[in-house]
Structure 1
Amino acid sequence: MGQCYGKNIAVDDAVDGSRTGSRTGPGVHQNGVSSVKNTPNHASSSPWPNPFPHAASPMPGALPPGVPPSPARSTPRRFFRRPFPPPSPAKHIKSSLVKRQGAPKQPKDGPIPEDGAESERPLDKSFGYSKNFTSKYELGHEVGRGHFGHTCYAKARKGELKGQPVAVKVISKAKMTTAIAIEDVRREVKILKALSGHANLVKFYDACEDSNNVYIVMELCEGGELLDRILSRGGRYTEEDAKIIVRQILSIVAFCHLQGVVHRDLKPENFLFSTKDEHAPMKAIDFGLSDFIRPDERLNDIVGSAYYVAPEVLHRSYSLEGDIWSIGVITYILLCGSRPFWARTESGIFRAVLRADPNFDDAPWPSVSAEAKDFVKRLLNKDLRKRMTAAQALTHPWLRGQHPIPLDILIFKLVKSYIRASPLRRAALKALSKSLTEDELVYLKAQFKLLEPNKDGRISLENFRSALTRNATEAMKESKVLDILNSMEHLASRRLDFDEFCAATISVYQLEALDGWEQIASSAFEYFEQEGNRVITVEELAREMNLASTAHSVLHDWIRSTDGKLSFHGFTKYLHGVTLRQNTRPQ
C-alpha cells in the first residue's frame, strides 16, 4: 500500500522497530492469546514484524519529503501478552496509562499465570469436541501459518460434506500454556458456531480434537485476502468498487453487533473472497480475538492490530464502536491506498491514533466525492459517541441504495433511556427530532419498519421483542442481549408512533458530529420554546440530572434570569448532560 501518515503529528521514534516474523497466510489468523475482560494487566509486548522493509510503494508518484517508503504488505501482528522479546516500544504509553488509572487490582484468588509457569493444578486441555478427526477428514497441504497453529486444505471423507474441500485450522495444544489460551479457543469455536449462517461470514462446519491438537473445520475460501485485491489494483479501489466491499463489511459487523459479539481485529487480512472471481462474495474470518459483550458492558483489554486499533481501546474503555473505527481505517485505505495513521514503531502508531487527524488534503482525496469523505470522517471520529453504527453507516448517502438495512441494537438502548427519562428531557428530545435531516430520517424509517408496526402505526414492547427474536442466534444468549428487553418493561403499557420513536432513538452526540448541527440545534430550540420549555430551578435541574450540589454553579448558566427557563446554551448542554469530570472539578 502507499505511504501512510497522520497529518497533524510529527512522529519521531528512536526505536527502529525491527523484528522478525512470518506473515499470516490465506485462511489462517495469528491465533494470539487475547486478554480477558476487566484485566488491564494482561496487555504487554507484541512480536510484530518490522513494518518497514524497503519495499516500493504501490501508490504512484513521489512520497512527501522525509517520509520513508511504506511496505507493500505488512501489518503489525496482534497484541500478544508474553513472553515475546524484545520489549514493546509502547512501554511508556502503557506506563502512563497505569499512572493515570492506577495499578490494576488482582483477583482475590491470585492471577492466572501467564509466563508459562506451572500452576498448582495441571491445565485441562480437554474440549469435549469429536475425537474422530482422521476418520472424518483427509488433511492436505498447508495454506497458511500463524503463531499458535496453521491452516490446511482438507476433504471430508463422510457425512453431509463428503468429498467437499474444507479449510482446517490446526491449533497446537502444546502452545496452550495458560487457562486463558484454552478459553480463547473455546470462545472462538463458540462464536463461529453461534454466528455461522450469515452470507459474509465464513461457515463453521465442525470442531474436533485429539491429544495434540484442536481442529476447527470451516468453509474453504480460495479467492485470497482483501489485502491481496487492494495490492493487485495498485493500492486502492475506485469509489464504486469500494462501496461493494464496505457494504459487505458493514453487513457482517452489524449482524455481529446485534448478536452481542465484537470482532476486535478487523483488517483487510481478515476478509477472504470465496472464489477467485472478481465479484465473489467476501467472508469475515478470524474470530480469535472476538468476544461476547453485554449491552452496557465496557471492555478494557488492549487487543487488535496497531494500524486499526481505536483510541478508546488504548484508553482501556471500549465497546462495539472500536470495530466501527477499524472499518473507517479500512475504507480510508480502500479509497486512497494509504493508512490514516502511520509511524515506524508500535508506540508511534499509538500516538498517531490518539493525536493525529487523517490526511484528506493530499491526492487522491481532492478527487474523492464529498459523501465518501464525510463517510470516512464519521467513522474515524475520535469521540466514540459520535461515530455511526454499522447499520447507520449502511444508510449514509455514500452507500445508500436498494440494499437491506439490518436491525440496530442501538435503538433498543436509546429507547430504554427515553422511556425512563423525565418529561422535560422527553420534550427536549421531541423538539430535537423535529429538526432531523432527511438523511437521518432514512435510517429511522428503516428501523421503524423492521419493528413491524401494528395496524395503528404504533409499536410496543412486543414489537421490540419480536424483532430481536427474529434475528436471534445462540450468541444472543451468551451475550445477554435479550436481557435488554427486561430493562424496557416501562414500555409495556405504552405505544410509540413514528414521531415519538424518532425522539426516542436519536443520538445527540451523533447529530453534533454533523456539519449542520448548529442549525439543527437552533431549529430544535424554537420548537422547545413553544412546546416544552418551562420554568425550572437550579435545584430541580440538579435533582433531575442526579447531580451533586457542587454542580449547581455550572447549572446557573443554563437558566435564563428573565423567565427561569432553559436558555439555548442550557438546552444544548441539557441534551448532553453534565460529565463526571465537571461534577467533581473544584469550584
Structure 2
Amino acid sequence: MGQCYGKNIPVVVEDDITSRTGDRPQTPPTSTPFNGAVSVPSVKHSSAHSSSNSPWPSPFPHGTASSPLPPGISASPARSTPRRFFRRPFPPPSPAKHIKASLVKRFGHSKPKEGPIPEDGTEVERSLDKNFEYSKNFETKYELGKEVGRGHFGHTCSAKGKKGEAKGHLVAVKIISKAKMTTAISIEDVRREVKILKALSGHQNLVKFYDACEDANNVYIVMELCEGGELLDRILSRGGRYTEEDAKAIVVQILNVVAFCHLQGVVHRDLKPENFLFATRDEDAPMKLIDFGLSDFIRPDERLNDIVGSAYYVAPEVLHRSYTMEADIWSIGVITYILLCGSRPFWARTESGIFRAVLRADPNFDDSPWPVVTTEAKDFVKRLLNKDHRKRMTAAQALTHPWLRGKSCPVPLDILIYKLVKSYLRATPFKRAALKALSKALTEDELMYLRAQYRLLEPHKDGRVSHENFKMALLRNATDAMKESRVLDILNTMEQLSHRKMDFEEFCAAAISTYQLEALEKWEQIASTAFEYFEQEGNRVTSVDELAREMNLGPTAHSILNDWIRSSDGKLSFLGYTKFLHGVTIRSSNTRHQSSA
C-alpha cells in the first residue's frame, strides 16, 4: 500500500527542493511519512524533498522505507510535494498574504503552545461539538490489523470486516483523533470528507467508502484497501517518467474520475501523484483517487476562495482566491507534464517562489525530452496549463483531445455544456447569430467533442433535444453528491427549452466556448472563417449605444466600442466581432475580461 499524507502545519523548516538542473538541497528537511489507502486529514510537521544521492535526474525522491509495493517500486517517505497549506506570503499585493490567516482559521495556532492550556482555550475546546452521529460499534464490526501509517491527527490501520458489506474483506481504516480537532473548521473538514465519500459512488477509479464510526476519542473512516502503491512510486520505478503510451493510460483514468466528480459538483482541490493509488500490485491495475479531505461541494455558478492544495500543483486562480473546478484541471496538467518529462513545470526553492512561478512563468517545453515528445502531447499539456482558467479544457473535453483519441474511452457528460447552453438561451439574437457563425467554422476536432455530448443527451427521433433531454441526462448520472451541490438547479435556468427544441447545429452554437477556442493555435483562422459567415448571415448595422446595451456596458466603454464598428457601413468589424464574442466589461477606471457564461 502506498504512502499517503495529511495536511501540514504552516510553520515548518526552510523549503529547499531540487532544481531543474538536478541540484539537490544541501540540508533537506525531515519528513513524517504517512502510510495508508487514504490519508488522514492531519497536520504534518514538515515535508521532505529529494535525496541527495538520487541517481535520477528527476524531481522525485527515491524512497527507502519498506512498503508492500509491486516489485521494483520503492516507497517514497521523502515527498516531492511541499506543504498543502503555505507558510510564506508574497510581498504585497500578493494573494498569498492571506494564507496564514486561513491556516489559523482552519487549524487554530500554527503550532502547539508549550505548558498548560489556558482556561479560555479550554473553554473554546469544550465548546466544540465533536459528536459526528456516526455508528458507535466500530469494534464489533471490524478487527483492526497493523498500523500502516501515522499522521498528526491520527493513524491508519488495515482491518478486516466482521459484518456488513465489508465482511471478510481487508479494508483501510483512518483513525482520526478528536483531541487534534481544535477548530470548528477542522471538525467540518472531517464531516465533509465523509459526506463526499458517502455521496460519491459507482466509479471504478474512485476509492470505495464502506463506513464511518466514532467513539469518545476517535473518528473511524473505513474504505477500500489499495495495495498497489502510489502513482508517485510507479513514476519512480520508471526512472522518473513514463512513455507517452503508458502516460496516456494513466491520464485517461485521472480524467475519467475527475470528470465524474465535477459532474457531481465536487472539486477535489488536491490532485497529485500521491493521491492516486493502484488497487493491486499488477502492472495494469486500475488507479483509485483518494483523500477528499480538502474537497468540497460546489454549485454550478459558485466560486471558492480558500487557499488549499499542494504548492507545485496549485492553480493561479487559487492564489487569487477565486476559483472553481478548473483548478483541478490545472493540477492534472502538472501531473501530465511530470509523467512525460520527469520535471515539475513550476519550480523554485521557496514556496513564495513557487507561487511566483505559477503566476508568472511558462512551462519549459524546450529541454529534453520535450523535443522528441509528440506535438499532440505538448498541445494537450499546454491546454491544461493555461493560466486563464476559462481557456482550459474540461476533463470530459480532454478525453476527446487528439493525443488521447486512440484510447477508445467513452466521453462522460460535461457540466460545462449546461453552463454554456444556459448563457446562450439568455443571450440576445445578435449574440446568438455571432455564435452560430462561429460554430460553422469549427473543425472536426472541436465537433467530435460536441457530437459526443449531443449523443449523451439522447436526442428525440427528430434529432433534436429539449429540456427533458438535458434533465434526463443529468439524472442518469446523478449521485447523492449532485443533490448536495444542487447541480440540478441549473435546469431551472434552461426553461426556454421546455417550449421548443434545439437541433445539433444550434446546440453547437450554444455549447462552444469562445475562450477555449482562443487558446488554439488556429484561433485566427477559425475567427476569420466565422466572420465570413457572420458577414453573410448575421452582421447588421449597430450603434455604439446599442452595442453597449447589448454587452451591458456603461458610458465609459463608448470610446473603445467606436473602434469595433466600421465607419463605412456601421456594422461590426472583424475586431468588433471577436471582441463581441469574447465579452468585455468596462467599469469606470479599469477594464476587466470576464466569461459570458
Aligned to 2:30: 20
Aligned residue identity for 1:448: Y
Aligned residue identity for 1:166: V
In the alignment, structure 2 segments of 5+ residues that lack a partner are 1-16, 63-77, 113-120, 593-597
1-side partners of 2:444 and 2:378: how far apart? 19
Aligned residue identity for 1:411: I
2-side partners of 1:527 and 1:112: how far apart? 54
Tell whether 2:140 aligns with 1:135.
yes
Aligned to 2:532: 526
Distance of aligned partners of 1:156 and 1:94 in 2 relative to their CA distance in 1, 3 Å threshold: farther
2-side partners of 1:113 and 1:304: how far apart? 15
Aligned to 1:489: 495
Question: Could you report, residue by residue, the CA deviation over 1:375-422 in whole angstroms, capped at 9, with x for unpaired residues?
Answer: 001001111111000000000000113211100000000000001100
Tell whether 2:279 aligns with 1:269.
no
Within 5 Å, which residues of 2 pair with 1:501-520? 501-520=507-526
State the Cα distance separating 1:47 from its structure 2 match: 4.8
Aligned residue identity for 2:340: L
**Which of 522, 528, 545 is equivalent to 1:539?**
545
**Which of 417, 426, 429 is equivalent to 1:423?**
429
Within 5 Å, which residues of 2 pair with 1:96-495? 96-97=94-95, 114-115=108-109, 117-118=121-122, 122-401=127-406, 402-495=408-501
Question: Could you report, residue by residue, the CA deviation over 1:266-308 in whole angstroms, capped at 9, with x for unpaired residues?
Answer: 0000000000000011100000000000111111111001111
State the Cα distance separating 1:581 from its structure 2 match: 5.8
1-side partners of 2:368 and 2:128: how far apart? 55
Question: Could you report, residue by residue, the CA deviation over 1:134-191 in whole angstroms, capped at 9, with x for unpaired residues?
Answer: 1110001112223322211100112332221111111110101111111110100000
**Which of 538, 547, 571 is equivalent to 2:577?**
571
Aligned to 2:39: 29
Distance of aligned partners of 1:74 and 1:161 in 2 relative to their CA distance in 1, 3 Å threshold: closer
Give the percent of matched residue pairs that are identical in Structure 1 and Structure 2.
72
Distance of aligned partners of 1:463 and 1:519 in 2 relative to their CA distance in 1, 3 Å threshold: same
Aligned residue identity for 1:24: F
Partner-residue secondary structure (3-state), 2:90 = helix
Aligned to 1:56: 54
More divergent stretch after superposition (157-166 vs 173-182): 157-166
State the Cα distance separating 1:192 from its structure 2 match: 0.4
Within 5 Å, which residues of 2 pair with 1:38-117? 47-59=45-57, 71-72=61-62, 74-80=79-85, 88=87, 90-93=88-91, 96-97=94-95, 114-115=108-109, 117=121
Question: Could you report, residue by residue, the CA deviation over 1:435-491 in whole angstroms, capped at 9, with x for unpaired residues?
Answer: 001111010000000000000000011100000000001001111111000111122
Partner-residue secondary structure (3-state), 2:387 = coil
Question: Could you report, residue by residue, the CA deviation over 1:520-553 in whole angstroms, capped at 9, with x for unpaired residues?
Answer: 0000000000000000000001111111111111
1-side partners of 2:392 and 2:172: how far apart? 36
Partner-residue secondary structure (3-state), 2:173 = strand
2-side partners of 1:425 and 1:57: how far apart? 58
Contact 2:60 2:80 in 1 (8 A): no
Partner-residue secondary structure (3-state), 1:91 = coil
Aligned to 1:40: none
1-side partners of 2:288 and 2:297: how far apart? 20
2-side partners of 1:132 and 1:241: how far apart? 44
Distance of aligned partners of 1:514 and 1:301 in 2 relative to their CA distance in 1, 3 Å threshold: same
Aligned residue identity for 1:139: L
Aligned residue identity for 2:439: S
Partner-residue secondary structure (3-state), 1:339 = coil
Partner-residue secondary structure (3-state), 1:403 = coil
2-side partners of 1:226 and 1:583: how far apart? 49
Partner-residue secondary structure (3-state), 2:127 = coil
User: Normalising to structure 1: TM-score of the pair?
Assistant: 0.88
Aligned residue identity for 1:97: P
State the Cα distance separating 1:5 from its structure 2 match: 4.0
2-side partners of 1:145 and 1:458: how far apart? 56
Distance of aligned partners of 1:237 and 1:181 in 2 relative to their CA distance in 1, 3 Å threshold: same
1-side partners of 2:199 and 2:543: how far apart? 52
1-side partners of 2:144 and 2:92: how far apart? 43
Partner-residue secondary structure (3-state), 1:160 = helix
Aligned residue identity for 1:114: G
Contact 2:329 2:394 in 1 (8 A): yes
Distance of aligned partners of 1:328 and 1:80 in 2 relative to their CA distance in 1, 3 Å threshold: closer
Give the ranges of 4+ consecutive aligned residues of structure 1 lying more than 6 Å apart after TM superposition: none
Aligned to 2:4: none
Partner-residue secondary structure (3-state), 2:403 = coil
2-side partners of 1:75 and 1:471: how far apart? 36
Contact 2:539 2:572 in 1 (8 A): yes
Q: Number of residues paired by the alignment?
A: 547
Aligned residue identity for 2:158: Y
Partner-residue secondary structure (3-state), 2:402 = coil
Contact 2:226 2:279 in 1 (8 A): yes
Distance of aligned partners of 1:289 and 1:559 in 2 relative to their CA distance in 1, 3 Å threshold: same
In the alignment, structure 1 segments of 5+ residues that lack a partner are 34-45, 61-68, 82-87, 106-110
State the Cα distance separating 1:18 from its structure 2 match: 5.7
Aligned residue identity for 1:360: F
Aligned to 1:85: none
Aligned residue identity for 1:350: F
Comparing both chains, which one has the higher relative contact order based on Cα–Cα distances under 8 Å and sequence gaps of 6 or more?
Answer: 1
Contact 2:231 2:278 in 1 (8 A): yes
Aligned residue identity for 1:31: P
Distance of aligned partners of 1:52 and 1:234 in 2 relative to their CA distance in 1, 3 Å threshold: closer
